[in-house]
Amino acid sequence: MGHLKAWFDHEFLRLQSEWRELIQAIEPNRIYQRTAAHELSPGEHVVRSAGAVEQTFDGITANLWDDPFEWTLPENLATREKLLEYFDEVEATRQRGFGLFKDDEDLLKEVMTPSGKMHLASLLLDTLVRARHHQLRAEEIQKQIKVR
């Protein structure tokens, strides 16, 4: 495995681990609790983080670039267990996508996205940045809810 591919793999695995840790650290009745200062709850941010990963790897593997919004609504992922199952599904999708990359050179290939052609490495980096943003927001809100 090339260094770049290994780095991306590590970062996506770390992100998945953080989703799990956060959801397991939040009291179940507070996963989707919103605060006056925030439009979204910690659970909604974590789901958006996972959804960004799912959307990218569904796009890479099946050219399915749909936003996973419909099947990631709080009422569909209402419990900690359902969220953890969803994270497993996202990881399985990511693994399928990563299986297509033989080495770092594959990450220099272009893929057609809804916004146009992108190098895979750029697409993965963009996905990590968006997913990390939502993860950090979830952690920030969770800390505020915990203080209350």
Domains delineated in the chain = 3-147 (1.20.120.450)
How would you class 50 by CB atoms within 10 Å of its CB: exposed for 0-12, middle for 13-18, buried for 19 or more?
buried
pLDDT at 148: 60
pLDDT at 147: 63
Q: Which residues make beta-bridge pairs with 113?
A: 116
- Compute φ and ψ for 111, nearest 5 degrees: -130, 145
pLDDT at 117: 95
Reduced 3-state DSSP string for the chain: CCHHHHHHHHHHHHHHHHHHHHHHHCCHHHCCCCCCCCCCCHHHHHHHHHHHHHHHHHHHHHCCCCCCCHHHCCCCCCCHHHHHHHHHHHHHHHHHHHCCCCCHHHHHCEEEECCEEEEHHHHHHHHHHHHHHHHHHHHHHHHHHHHC
pLDDT at 6: 96
What average pLDDT values come out for the chain (148 residues) when binned by 10 residues?
A: 93 97 93 86 95 95 83 85 96 96 95 93 97 96 78
- Compute φ and ψ for 118, nearest 5 degrees: -145, 150
pTM: 0.93
